Structure 1
Amino acid sequence: MLSRRIRFFVAATISYNVIEALVALAAGAVASSSALIAFGLDSVIEVASAAAVAWQFSAPDPERREKTALRFIAFSFFGLALFIGFDAVRALVTGAEADPSPVGIALAAVSLGVMPLLSYFQRRAGRELRSRSAVADSKQTLICSYLSGVLLAGLLLNSLFGWSWADPLAALVIAGWAVKEGREAWKGDACCANPLAPVERDAESGGGCSCCGS
């Protein structure tokens, strides 16, 4: 039952992020916006990450595939950070200016409301199943909501005040988040160090797991 729930939320995440990626990349290309392109590529990575979790839970014994799924998620983050960082630095050095993007602003606002909900339900199911890869993927989805806020701020500053530097700066923030989460996924810090071990209860958290609160 839990595996089925995770697959459902993974499918929902993939569906939303495919739409998000297409809109962001198209709007970013039109506006020459590093932040929008970065956000679109982050959505592509989220699709790949969710697909990795779906692949893991398609096996009779998902735990056997967990390390591979975590490694894939980590490499996806690192690749994203490298590309975004390079493009953002190029924009800052050359002084390239992004055009205002009403479509990008609307997309960031919608994602700011949708992504936290998807992340919450997927993380809850992942913690109940003690799956680090599912929790890692849910954290990636949550990051998208943070990045939506960063993107929205960068686009609004550029649109309202003409601060062209705000766009690549927002992209650099996205790159920094990608590095941080890639490192955590690589180390398997998304949840407890050993999800198959007996759960240590923490009295201060109401009897929940002292590591992840599940």
Structure 2
Amino acid sequence: MAVSLGPSPARRDALTRRIRLLVAATIAYNVIEAIVALTAGTIASSTALIGFGLDSVIEVSSATAVAWQFSARDHAVREGRERTALRIIAFSFFALAAYVTVDAVRALTGAGEAERSIAGIVLAALSLAVMPFLSSAQRRAGRALGSASAVADSRQTLLCTYLSAVLLVGLLLHATLGWAWADPVAALVIAAVAVKEGRDAWRGKGCCAAPAPTRPDDPCCA
């Protein structure tokens, strides 16, 4: 059975440029998101908002790792950097899971009560609209290129979408019904998802739905 050689050089270059653009957009948005979330969270004493802001910082580190990988012009150099980028992304997931878990447990044990935050609600709603688009676009490009790191980073962005939904629901329930426990309980579920995604990134999984890899031992399908 013939083995597909993957995308042509011209197609590969086009996909690489697209990933660079999407990663740059993700970094720019998350920098703004982190500043707004950390500021609003500090003002409202909201551990959920502060955690969301720190998630944005972690996502910037993940996207930066992918940007570093794809900054190389030579395809062989980019492939050599893939494993390092995946390790950074995996550690980012684990760090996020650890923080969210600790923060959720603190919230459930009554370590301070947050004030209502309209700015946080607006930010969560905006992120819920923006992040799925960025994640989907990067995942498609990463799979077409056969890049496990690009796909893993798109999962990090998708996780931010889940966190945006959790944050939005939590802030709305707290603002309208006073249910302060709703957000930390949902956050624990997100932490479990983050651990799974971190394991997948560590193992190089995530892009096997792409065309067959260029090498039989490609870590993309390990």
| Aligned positions of 1:25-174 closer than 5 A | 25-59=38-72, 60=74, 61-174=77-190
- Greater mean alpha carbon deviation, residues 186-195 or residues 69-78: 186-195
Cα pair distance change 1:33/1:177, threshold 3 Å: farther
Q: Residues 119 and 20 (structure 1 numbering): CA distance in 2 closer, same or farther, change over 3 Å?
A: same
Secondary structure of 1:68's partner? helix
Q: Aligned AA for 1:14? A: I
User: In structure 1, what is the Cα distance between the partners aligned to 2:35 and 2:213?
Assistant: 35
Instruction: Determine whether 1:196 maps to 2:214.
Output: yes
1:98–1:167 contact (8 Å) kept in structure 2? no
- Structure 1 length normalisation: TM-score? 0.87
TM-superposed CA distance for 1:168, in Å, is 2.7
Aligned length: 199
How far did residue 126 of structure 1 move? 0.8
2:202 paired with 1:186: yes
Cα distance in 2 between the residues matched to 1:26 and 1:176: 27
The structural deviation recorded for 1:104 is 0.5
Q: What's the % identity of the aligned pairs?
A: 69
> Residue by residue, what CA displacement relative to the aligned partner does 1:78-101 show, whole Å, maximum 9, x if unpaired?
112212211221222235211111
Tell me, yes or no, if the aligned pair for 1:71 and 1:186 is still in contact at 8 Å: yes
Question: Runs of 5+ in structure 1 lacking a partner?
Answer: 199-210
TM-score (norm 2): 0.84
Contact kept, 8 Å, 1:100 with 1:155, in 2: the verdict is yes
State the match for 2:34 in structure 1.
Answer: 21
Once the two structures are superposed, residues 139-183 of structure 1 have per-residue CA deviations (whole angstroms, 9 ceiling, x without a partner) of: 111121121111111111111001122233343333223212111
Q: Which ranges of structure 2 fall in alignment gaps of 5 or more residues?
A: 1-13
- 8 Å CA contact 2:166–2:183 kept in 1: the answer is no
Q: 1:5 aligns with which of 5, 8, 18?
A: 18
Equivalent pair of 1:33/1:167 in contact (CA under 8 Å): no
CA RMSD of aligned residues (A): 1.8
Equivalent position of 1:203 in the other structure = none
Deviations 1:106-161 (A, max 9, x none): 00100111111111111111111110000111111112112111111111111100
* Residues 62 and 55 of structure 1, relative CA distance in 2, 3 Å threshold: same
SS at match of 1:192: coil
Counterparts of 1:39 and 1:76, CA distance in 2: 14
Relative distance call for 1:176 and 1:32 in structure 2 (3 A) is: farther
Q: Matches of 1:115 and 1:81 in 2, distance apart?
A: 19
Q: Which amino acid aligns with 2:82?
A: E
Q: Following TM superposition, by how much is the alpha carbon of 1:196 offset from its aligned partner in structure 2, in angstroms?
A: 2.8
SS at match of 1:94: coil
| The 10-residue stretch of structure 1 (48-57 or 178-187) with the greater mean CA deviation from structure 2 | 178-187
CA distance in structure 2 between the partners assigned to 1:16 and 1:10 by the alignment: 10
**Amino acid in the other structure paired with 2:149:** S
* SS of residue paired to 2:71: coil
